[in-house]
Amino acid sequence: MNRCSCRSEQHDAPLVRAIEEYVDKRTKRFHVPGHKGGANPAIANLDPVSPYKTQCLLGDVTELPGLDDLHAPKGAILEAQRLAAGAFGADTTFFLVNGSTCGIHSAILAISKPGDKIAVSRDVHKAVIGGLVLSGAHPVYFDVEVDKEFQISLGPTEDSLRRTLDEHPDVRGVVFTNPNYYGVSPRIDLLVALVHDYDKIALIDEAHGAHLPFHKELPLSGLEVGADIVVSGAHKTLPAMTQASFLHLKGSRVSAKDISRALAVIETTSPSYPLMASLDMARKLAATRGCELLSSVIKAARQAREKLNRTPGIRCLTGEYVASKGFRYDPTKLVVSLSDLHMTGFEVSDILRQKHKIEVEFADMVNIVAILTMIDMEQDVRDLAQALCEIIENKFPRRCKAVSSESDIEQALSGLSRVLQDLPKQEMTPREAMFSKWEWVEIEQAKGRISADTIVPYPPGIILICPGQKITSSATDYMVSAVSCGVRFHGVEDNRILVVE
Ligand SMILES: Cc1ncc(COP(=O)(O)O)c(C=O)c1O
């Protein structure tokens, strides 16, 4: 292309346009990022320098004198990170600008090397697999409990972790999620104590738990129970901008130098100042007003759940239900199932979008999941509950898109729990699989082959198959039916997946 001229199409900015169109619709947002587009005027007026009022690009600066340097912080960034460590209860906090993914990658790179073993909860996010590819460590999976009614992973138990640590006393560290995308937290007090009894490193993925330390009705955060590394997704559950996260360290098992060396490899050398500023702002808001703002959103979510659970045909996940299974619940997640009315979560979220201008965080075969943050307004939560009740009252036609057969729906509904309970054999490390020769095969032809890719229904991003694992028939059966029901997968293209040649 000539440097001084370009084709007229280059004058378009389709992503910017798409975002502007979305903003113009003034949709009620029950999804991340946590700042909700700055739509709450009461929040925007809180602070004279609120980023919600300023023009974002004005603050998009770089490492100028006085503005410090993320990779060698000595001034404003160091001070902001120190304040964040104080607010979260960490010894050291790193600002992350490439999402929680880069924190998880760096943490695994910092604590393991090729040939080491890392114990990994079966339901971790694909970012953990990326970390294993980078470090060359062997994953050793431990089981999770699955809830058959909502078809979700509840998480690992103390027993499953103890069995794994007894069988593999040589693991370097243990990774699990707190809470998961549906707001379910394992007993991290028991899990972290167990990890430390075996003198291992506890790495907790709190991509959905950055708000936990700021309200007593929320499940415990990893730092509160002494976890060594906690990656905390400020852009999901605090009002920070997309990609802005924290990595917190506590105790002496992991050195801050090892983490900063790994971050220097993984993270951009051009960190965005608006992202970092949003971490500083989010920390300030959470630390100064988090408790009060979360109280009102927790109350609104409780009222919505009560209303919905009184409505025949609707079921919401509740703290009591989750506690009866031995887990904890984050009440800022609204997980709602209309499956008793034979509606999939996809259908419910389509109707919410089209008829009610409400966008939820995500849907799966059974549920819709709305994420509430301290920025949400009570009236919007009431509107969401009301819209769900109206969907039932209007007896909305059962299936919007008559694309899926009954048997596919039944198979996809029950299939995920079967796959999660079935631990596939790891035939080679994720790194070896990544560097192997690969070929495409149809999903049905993949049974018994070794996966060359991570296969993940997205959202929620929980891995189904990792690189290096033997592909089971429960996984291929599930994938075939789920794809036909509209579940989107990373790692599946045109009904084909990558396997090792
Ligand atoms: C449990 C979990 N961990 C990690 C991540 C990665 O976070 P990020 O998108 O900030 O890189 C996600 C993203 O959805 C997630 O759900």
CATH of the domain at 96: 3.40.640.10
Q: Is the N-terminal amide bond of 459 cis, ω within 30° of 0?
A: yes
Per-residue pLDDT tens over the stretch 368-394: 999 999 999 999 999 999 999 999 887
Tell me the CATH number at 450. 3.90.100.10
Tell me, yes or no, whether 187 lies in a domain.
yes
Tell me, yes or no, whether 476 lies in a domain.
yes
Which atom of ligand 1 is least distant from the CA of 124? 1
Q: How far is the CA of 101 from the centre of ligand 1 (A)?
A: 6
Per-residue pLDDT tens over the stretch 463-500: 889 999 999 988 898 888 888 878 888 899 999 999 99
Structure tokens of 84?
């964040």
**Number of Cβ atoms within 10 Å of the Cβ of 497:** 25
Tell me, yes or no, whether 378 lies in a domain.
yes
**How far apart are the C-alpha atoms of 129 and 161, rounded to whole Å?**
19
Which residues is 333 bridged to in the sheet?
371
Question: Ligand 1 pocket check: which of 32, 101, 175 to mutate, most ligand atoms within 8 Å of Cβ?
Answer: 101
- Average pLDDT over the chain reads 89
3-class DSSP state of 288: helix
Q: How far is the CA of 100 from the centre of ligand 1 (A)?
A: 6
CA quadruple 231, 234, 235, 238: dihedral positive or negative? positive
Give nearest CA residue, ligand 1 atom 12.
Answer: 207
3-class DSSP state of 441: strand
Which atom of ligand 1 is least distant from the CA of 233? 10
The answer on pLDDT for 266 being more than 60 is yes
Share of the chain above pLDDT 90, in %: 66
The pLDDT, as a whole number, for residue 340 is 83
Q: How far is the CA of 391 from the centre of ligand 1 (A)?
A: 31
Mean pLDDT, residues 421-445: 91
Q: Tell me which residues have their CB closer than 6 angstroms to ligand 1.
A: 99-101, 125, 127, 177, 181, 205, 207-208, 233, 245, 461
**Number of Cβ atoms within 10 Å of the Cβ of 47:** 14
Same domain, 372 and 310: yes
Give nearest CA residue, ligand 1 atom 13.
Answer: 207
**Chosen domain end from 225, 253, 283:** 283
Q: How far is the CA of 328 from the centre of ligand 1 (A)?
A: 20
| Closest alpha carbon to 108 in 353, 429, 389 | 429
Give nearest CA residue, ligand 1 atom 9.
Answer: 99
DSSP structure class, residue 462: B
DSSP structure class, residue 9: G
Q: Which residue has the tokens 């560097």?
A: 435
Q: How far is the CA of 243 from the centre of ligand 1 (A)?
A: 9
Which amino acid is it at 104? Answer: I
Mean pLDDT, residues 37-66: 69
**pLDDT-based confidence at 53, cuts 50/70/90?**
low
Residue 476, CA distances (Å) to 43, 339, 363 in order = 47, 23, 21
Tell me, yes or no, whether 450 lies in a domain.
yes
Per-residue pLDDT tens over the stretch 279-331: 998 999 999 999 999 999 999 999 999 999 999 989 999 999 999 999 999 99
Give nearest CA residue, ligand 1 atom 7.
Answer: 100
The pLDDT, as a whole number, for residue 28 is 81
Mean pLDDT, residues 23-28: 78
pTM over cut 0.85: yes
**Number of Cβ atoms within 10 Å of the Cβ of 273:** 20
Lowest mean pLDDT among 1-15, 182-196, 356-370, 458-472: 1-15
Which atom of ligand 1 is least distant from the CA of 177? 1
Q: How far is the CA of 204 from the centre of ligand 1 (A)?
A: 12
Lowest mean pLDDT among 17-21, 50-54, 61-65, 91-95: 50-54
Q: Which domain holds residue 112?
A: 57-283
**pLDDT-based confidence at 402, cuts 50/70/90?**
very low
Tell me, yes or no, whether 27 lies in a domain.
no
Same domain, 273 and 301: no
**Chosen domain end from 283, 318, 334:** 283
**Chosen domain end from 334, 363, 393:** 393
Same domain, 268 and 137: yes
Q: How far is the CA of 87 from the centre of ligand 1 (A)?
A: 22
Lowest mean pLDDT among 185-199, 364-378, 449-463: 449-463
Same domain, 89 and 167: yes
Tell me, yes or no, whether 41 lies in a domain.
no
Same domain, 65 and 206: yes
The pLDDT, as a whole number, for residue 401 is 46
The pLDDT, as a whole number, for residue 261 is 97
Structure tokens of 68?
């410090």
What is the count of structural domains for the chain? 3
Same domain, 278 and 295: no
Same domain, 192 and 152: yes
Q: How far is the CA of 399 from the centre of ligand 1 (A)?
A: 31
Mean pLDDT, residues 52-71: 75
Structure tokens of 61?
């600066």
Q: How far is the CA of 73 from the centre of ligand 1 (A)?
A: 25
Same domain, 374 and 446: no
Question: Ligand 1 pocket check: which of 94, 100, 152 to mutate, most ligand atoms within 8 Å of Cβ?
Answer: 100
**pLDDT-based confidence at 400, cuts 50/70/90?**
very low
Per-residue pLDDT tens over the stretch 146-159: 888 888 889 999 99
The answer on pLDDT for 29 being more than 50 is yes
Strands 117-121 and 171-177, by their bridges, are parallel
> 135 or 425: which carries more pLDDT confidence?
135
Q: How far is the CA of 314 from the centre of ligand 1 (A)?
A: 28
Tell me the CATH number at 329. 3.90.1150.150
Same domain, 143 and 187: yes
CA quadruple 56, 377, 238, 142: dihedral positive or negative? negative
Give nearest CA residue, ligand 1 atom 4.
Answer: 207
Tell me, yes or no, whether 204 lies in a domain.
yes
**How far apart are the C-alpha atoms of 146 and 150, rounded to whole Å?**
9
Q: How far is the CA of 361 from the centre of ligand 1 (A)?
A: 13
Same domain, 198 and 66: yes
The pLDDT, as a whole number, for residue 66 is 81
Same domain, 259 and 341: no
The answer on pLDDT for 399 being more than 50 is no
Tell me, yes or no, whether 74 lies in a domain.
yes
Question: Ligand 1 pocket check: which of 32, 106, 123, 125 to mutate, most ligand atoms within 8 Å of Cβ?
Answer: 125
> 472 or 18: which carries more pLDDT confidence?
472
The answer on pLDDT for 220 being more than 80 is yes
Per-residue pLDDT tens over the stretch 121-148: 989 999 999 999 999 999 999 989 988 8
Question: Do the beta carbons of residue 32 and residue 242 sit within 8 Å?
Answer: yes
Same domain, 250 and 231: yes
